[in-house]
Amino acid sequence: MTLQVTKQTEIEQQLAHAVFQLGCYLQEETDRSVLESAMEALLTKLDQLLQRPQFRLIRSLFELSKEEMRLLAFVYIETLEPECIGPYFQLSWIERSGMLSLERCFQLIWSQHFEKSTKLDQLQRDSSLLKWRLLLQSKSTMPLLEPVFLAPDVFHFLLSDRACETSVASFDTSVMMDPLSKQCVHSVPLKMSMFLALFQLPKQPLIMLSGANKVDQKAWVQLFVDEKTQNGHWFHIERNIEDPDLLRDIFRQALLSEQTEPIVLDWPSLIDDCRHHPRCKEVLFDFLHFRQVTVITRELEQSQPDFQGPIKTDLVTLDALSTKQLASFWELCATHGAPLAKQSCVELAHLYPLQLSQCLRVYQEAIKLPTYESMKALCLQQLSKNIGPLASLARPQGKLSQMVLASETKEQLIEVIDRVMLSPILKNEVVNAASGLQGLFWGKPGTGKTMAAEAIAAQLQLPLYKVNLANIASKWIGETEKHLAHLFDTAERQNAVLLFDEADAIFAKRSEVSSSQDKNANMGVSFLLQRMETYTGLLLLSTNIKNNLDEAFLRRFHAVIEFPMPKVQEREALWQMACIGKIRFGPDVSVHHLAELFEFSPSQIRNITERAILFALVAQEPVISKQHLARAIRRELDKQSAGFMASQKLSSWIAS
């Protein structure tokens, strides 16, 4: 490297001397043969400098001619060594300024004098030197007579092989324009050819993305770039650009930065820019002239600009991923270390309708926690988002195995879970199989209906939303349907479990139409019936009195499950399970006798135990005594207005 640096420095010094010597000869009006010899020496040194790697690379990238490269090298040396052009300012035909003009630079490096005017005119019209702003000039009405200088990033790039510490790829990027942000996607270490193929992998240099949101579109760009390039970089234009020259600066800097790497330019506002600033379309055509360049933009609903001619466009639609696409993604992740069997991939795809960006986040986190259960938890976390004011996200907890239920009830609940898990197979085995599942839980208050819904969601590891009926039943005509449509659309995208608690408040038997309000209420129920039939997830309703519900409504349920009051054996198990800490029932408390005497629901048993433990804590006693428990039972009976017979039972139990 030291030898190369010495060689380049030597060439630059010799070239600066040749430029200075020619100026001195011109000032002294030396013999023509001496001038021609000095000119040949200058051109020889220019050509030697042009053999340096960074000069050869610029020529290849921007397809510059030999004369254009000589001009570039000449401006470079006068920028590097300004003293070498000092003699020229003593000449009468040189403009008085700090740098030589474009015309004078061209005259000094062009040996065929009779072609100068033609070549200079062609240079001004067509040269990539000026088009891509490698050489800059002030915006003047007489550009040929204005000083010409190198763009700062180009100068640093050409200087890069001159210093030991600086490589060609690490030039100063502080001159990068503000709208340009360079993104890195090394956090997505997957080669996604197989997965991208499901989106019809584009082949054209201009790609339009359609559908999905901005986050998912950006995720697709990440995958595309990671597949297209080695270092996983692309350039992103943040906002609308009004100045096409700024676009050229951005592209030039991108091209110099990436060098021989393919370049992906993410330009979301391209269509608007081309529509409002016609010169942007010209710049786009120039971008795509380079074979290693791909431009990605976004499709708009309005009319598209005319990209006829040399530009061909690929449209990539990023709507919701199908179950097949998701399964393919998880299978691909499994080949990169994710803990997934083939059946697990199908199960994840069925349970969690994730978007592309969500899939990538799950994979990145799953590498740190490599278990299948952790992946399901991560998928659930991605799906569990706020659904708006109509429903609240509940935290599913517990399992059916931990609940004390009648055997028939538990058996039917397990059947609901099995039906959800096996629905992809059922659809292939049964003609016109339903896409979703609707269940009705009915029984007295406190018998475990809501808890069972939470346990099902927890076992399936799906988000659970409890619907706020008060926010749905709007008094304005048409508003109820709008609220319900939004609720179902959002929940369906998440494959959420929907729970309508105390459903008889809105799903009661439709009333006789005696007013516009009655008509509106009945229309709301009819609309809900339609959405229930088409809902692709699990929908659960709970009610205290089944007979209050509309008969047409009941016929639509796949499962109608009764939650009866617990029997003696079940109540005894509930009492025994109620205390989970250090404080337990004292020796004077007979749980079996308690279960035989009082017909409490699971919710009441839980409330009584909690209050009895509180009384024991206040009294600083290590166990729940009979007195604590009796006091808690009396509070619960008073709350329920239980009456004389219940009080007699309590008195009898205390005395026994």
**CA distances to 99, 474, 475, 483 from 516, in Å:** 85, 13, 10, 19
The residue with tokens 């033609």 is: 118
**Is the pLDDT confidence value at 257 over 80?**
no
Residue 1, burial from CB neighbour count under 10 angstroms (0-12, 13-18, 19+): exposed
- For residues 515 and 410, which has the higher predicted lDDT (pLDDT)? 410
- Among 84-98, 199-213, 451-465, the minimum mean pLDDT is found in 84-98
* Calpha distance 19→99 (Å, rounded): 13
Which of 217, 169, 421, 436 lies closest to 315 in space, CA to CA? Answer: 217
Spans of all domains in the chain? 2-169, 180-317, 323-383, 394-562, 568-655
> What DSSP character marks residue 115?
G
- For residues 509 and 263, which has the higher predicted lDDT (pLDDT)? 263
* Calpha distance 540→538 (Å, rounded): 7
* Mean pLDDT, the chain, integer: 78
Sign of the CA dihedral with 140 first, then 145, 150, and 152 last: negative
- Among 134-148, 260-274, 599-613, the minimum mean pLDDT is found in 134-148
Torsion of CA 476, 482, 483, 484, to 10 degrees: 120
Q: Where residue 618 falls among pLDDT bands split at 50, 70, 90?
A: very high
pLDDT for the residue 540? 92
Mean pLDDT of 20-49: 87
**Is the pLDDT confidence value at 544 over 50?**
yes
Please say whether the beta carbons of 508 and 541 come within 8 A: no
Please say whether the beta carbons of 265 and 287 come within 8 A: yes
Please say whether the beta carbons of 134 and 72 come within 8 A: yes
* Of 29-33, 479-483, 646-650, highest mean pLDDT: 29-33
**Is the pLDDT confidence value at 177 over 60?**
no
* Calpha distance 564→322 (Å, rounded): 41
pLDDT for the residue 170? 34
* Calpha distance 545→550 (Å, rounded): 11
Residue 330, burial from CB neighbour count under 10 angstroms (0-12, 13-18, 19+): buried
Domain at 568-655, CATH from 1.10.8.60, 1.20.120.330, 1.10.3720.10, 3.40.50.1820: 1.10.8.60
**Is the pLDDT confidence value at 533 over 70?**
yes
Q: What is the pLDDT of residues 58-77, one digit of tens each?
A: 888 888 888 889 989 999 99
Residue 157 structure tokens: 């790039």
Which of 288, 306, 200, 223 lies closest to 251 in space, CA to CA? Answer: 288
* Calpha distance 601→637 (Å, rounded): 12
Q: What is the pLDDT of residues 547-605, one digit of tens each?
A: 777 676 777 788 999 999 999 999 999 998 888 888 888 888 888 888 888 888 999 99
* Calpha distance 507→529 (Å, rounded): 9
**Is the pLDDT confidence value at 515 over 50?**
no
Please say whether the beta carbons of 259 and 168 come within 8 A: yes
**CA distances to 416, 443, 508, 522, 640 from 546, in Å:** 19, 8, 9, 19, 22
- For residues 519 and 307, which has the higher predicted lDDT (pLDDT)? 307
The residue with tokens 């729940």 is: 624
**Buried b / exposed e across 394-412, counting CB within 10 Å, b at 16+?**
bebeeebeebbbbeebbeb
Mean pLDDT of 314-336: 82
* Of 132-146, 176-190, 208-222, 523-537, highest mean pLDDT: 208-222
Question: What share of the chain in percent tops pLDDT 90?
Answer: 12
Residue 329 structure tokens: 């993604």
**Is the pLDDT confidence value at 474 over 70?**
no
- For residues 527 and 84, which has the higher predicted lDDT (pLDDT)? 84
pLDDT for the residue 114? 39
CATH no. of 394-562 = 3.40.50.300
Mean pLDDT of 469-495: 75
Q: Where residue 48 falls among pLDDT bands split at 50, 70, 90?
A: very high
**Is the pLDDT confidence value at 519 over 70?**
no
Mean pLDDT of 449-458: 92
Q: What is the pLDDT of residues 258-316, one digit of tens each?
A: 666 778 888 888 888 887 787 888 888 888 877 678 888 888 765 555 665 556 778 88
Q: Is the fold of 180-317 the same as that of 394-562?
A: yes
Please say whether the beta carbons of 438 and 507 come within 8 A: no
Query: pTM, whole model, 2 decimals?
Result: 0.66
Mean pLDDT of 90-114: 68
pLDDT for the residue 561? 93
* Calpha distance 399→571 (Å, rounded): 19
pLDDT for the residue 233? 67
Which of 103, 98, 110, 101 lies closest to 46 in space, CA to CA? Answer: 110
CATH no. of 180-317 = 3.40.50.300
Q: What is the pLDDT of residues 413-449, one digit of tens each?
A: 999 999 998 888 888 787 777 778 999 999 998 899 9
